[in-house]
Structure 1
Amino acid sequence: MESVKEVNESATIGCYVKARYVLALMGFLGMVNVHCMRLNLSVAIVAMVNYTSSSMGDNTTINSCQNQTLATLNSSTYQQTGQFTWNPEQQGLLLGSYFYGYVLSNIPGAWLSKKFGFRLLVAIQIILGSIVTFLSPIAAKTSFELFFVPRVLLGMCQGGVAPSLVMAWGTWAPPSERSLLISIPLSGSAAGAVIS
């Protein structure tokens, strides 16, 4: 088992915050970003889909809750409908597509983090995920199939972020602070969900 390097606790002149606490804060903000990008479609799809469109399929398969929703959408109090006519199966595929890429990249992400360093890998993953998210509306307006691809790519970009951040504390944190310093970035998941 590899021994952990001793952490130098001596204060540097002009430096009041230890680097590991800055890293914990940056990890927290990174996880907030990751989860906001992950969950943005889950929130936005409600406004994106045109539920009143005739191409939504046969209304005989819609249950009573959906009938009430359609009645609300068709009422004069709610005039806003989305521009996409995705059926429920397509919506489910889009919402799950992130996790297809996410599952594929967890283990390779942790391995790459160990090989090249977690800071570089996390930065690249978040930047690539941001670019993919930025391009997603263009893909959605082009076609359903083209929108599916960036969602899978987003999952692939972000699958290694959490394992990389957890692995980082093996070298950056003294054993007595590891659980605290791991929990700070991982709590960014919950904060990202709330913000989304």
Structure 2
Amino acid sequence: MAFINLPCLHIPKRFNIAVMLFMACLMSYMMRVNLSINIIAMVEQTHSNATEPLPNYGPRYNWSQTDQANLLGAYFYGYMITSLPAGMLAENFGGKPVAGWSCLGAAALTALTPLAAAWDKWAVFAIRFLIGFLGGVVYPCCHNLVSKWSPPDEKGKFVAALMGGTFGTVITWPISGMLIEGLGWDWAFYMVGLFVLIVTLVWFYIVADSPAQHNSITIKEREYIEKSLGDTITTKKRWPPYKSLLISLPFWALLLLHYGSMWGLFFLITATPKFLSEVLGFNLSSAGFLSSLPHLARLLCAFGFGAVADLIRRKNWLSVTAMRKVFCLSSHILPGIMLIVLAFFGRDPYFCVAVMTISLGFNGAATSSNLQNSQDLAPNYAGTLYGIINCVGTTPGIFSPMIVAAFTKESNTIDQWHNVFLIGAAAYIIPAVIFWLFGSGEIQKWNEIDKKKSKDDVVNTKL
């Protein structure tokens, strides 16, 4: 990476940080979603309608639909626990080391998954729980780094960089499908672990916790970032204002909005490969590729919506509050409507894929609604806020596989998925309505707690 320092290239260090944030989220999702498709090749029989012999991709285990749901949900149990303190850890110890060491540990555990599967399903549950436990810190750490590195009128693009997780899904499922069919399902774990190890080493080399701590940033760029952030960011170690959060309507509106977005996302992450393979009849490599299309659409749309949001903010066409609420139409209402369409008219396999792709594509606008709102409300505590809403937003990763298992226990056909899609639609639309009523894009008073005491530690310029 030495070439990035050549004066003739003029690549800002904050661009490098944004790229590494993208990669951190990509790694996190690769380790999160790989089991969703790998498990199809790991079980003896996936549905009662199977009539042909199952392909030999490696050892197969007698795991019921409930067992599979529990294994898919295990990651989120661990993830939920560390999401809560992750923001505080990043704010006090730095987003770089906390996220970096967690990724290294999760990479090792991912590579150990085949060994755990040969031992017992509960060993796999424990491995997935620990991977989630380590992965729970990544996004709050990234939000902490965004709050330190992103000028306000570049916030949309920085938050869009956190869609690296979506790209992780895009590449993991088709690559895993090909690895499974070519080498066996165990290699779909080994290769992910190796990739994460390599990228994490690059993360430690490039990332710094703030512009002031970067060893090769130009004075001009550092001063530009610090001046643009003004006195909204402090370097003082502090305890988050939990009491103020509990009575803040804008925070509760954000929490519900994020929950709705995560329900739609995690439902598609945990259920789409299963739906395409078992219900619509696609083979593993096709299921992996088609399952990734909605996430590719979400990634591309996220950068588009993020750029539009930055333009609106730069031109002052809308207040931040109005802008967040307008983007809810794309991030929540339209995806919900698409799931209703899927519930009533989803009979053709390719029509189903198209509707799911459109639905999650619109949800890319989350970069300009729920994914950015914690930065609006409290830049000093952006990691903490995101950690809390992400903890609650993780629960759909636990509930949605259980709901799918409950509805498909007797028979796994398109009719059994009708109510599953309607539940997802409600999870999208209802929180958006609540956010329209109570949401805000203004910096809250509790962001400035102890501001007078920490005057000397604050970046002394005005936003």
TM over 0.5: yes
Map 1:1-196 onto structure 2 (within 5 A). 13=7, 16-51=10-45, 66-68=47-49, 70-71=50-51, 73-74=52-53, 78-80=54-56, 82-184=59-161, 186-196=162-172
**What is the distance in 2 between the residues matched to 1:15 and 1:122?**
29
Query: Where does residue 62 of structure 1 map in the other structure?
Result: none
**What is the distance in 2 between the residues matched to 1:117 and 1:96?**
29
**What is the distance in 2 between the residues matched to 1:79 and 1:29?**
33
1:134 maps to a residue whose letter is A
**What is the distance in 2 between the residues matched to 1:85 and 1:105?**
31
Distance 1:149 1:80, change over 3 A: same
**What is the distance in 1 between the residues matched to 2:114 and 2:10?**
43
Higher relative contact order (Cα pairs below 8 Å, separated by 6+ residues): 1
Distance 1:173 1:79, change over 3 A: closer
Secondary structure of 1:67's aligned partner: coil
1:169 maps to a residue whose letter is V
Deviation at 1:67, TM superposition (A): 3.4
**What is the distance in 1 between the residues matched to 2:104 and 2:139?**
15
Q: What is the CA deviation profile of residues 67-90 of structure 1, one whole-angstrom value per residue up to 9, with x for unaligned ones?
A: 33x11x33xxx5437421111111
Q: What is the CA deviation profile of residues 127-157 of structure 1, one whole-angstrom value per residue up to 9, with x for unaligned ones?
A: 1110111111111111111111110000010
Unmatched 5+ residue regions in structure 2?
Answer: 173-463
Distance 1:97 1:19, change over 3 A: same
Secondary structure of 2:163's aligned partner: helix
Superposed CA RMSD in Å reads 2.0
Q: What is the CA deviation profile of residues 42-65 of structure 1, one whole-angstrom value per residue up to 9, with x for unaligned ones?
A: 11000011118xxxxxxxxxxxxx
- Under a length normalisation based on structure 1, what TM-score does the superposition of the two structures give? 0.79
**What is the distance in 1 between the residues matched to 2:102 and 2:13?**
22
- Under a length normalisation based on structure 2, what TM-score does the superposition of the two structures give? 0.34
Q: What is the CA deviation profile of residues 93-149 of structure 1, one whole-angstrom value per residue up to 9, with x for unaligned ones?
A: 100000000111112111111111001111111111101111111111111111111
**What is the distance in 1 between the residues matched to 2:165 and 2:7?**
35
**What is the distance in 2 between the residues matched to 1:113 and 1:187?**
20
Deviation at 1:179, TM superposition (A): 2.1
Distance 1:128 1:79, change over 3 A: closer
Matched-pair identity in %: 29
**What is the distance in 2 between the residues matched to 1:67 and 1:88?**
10
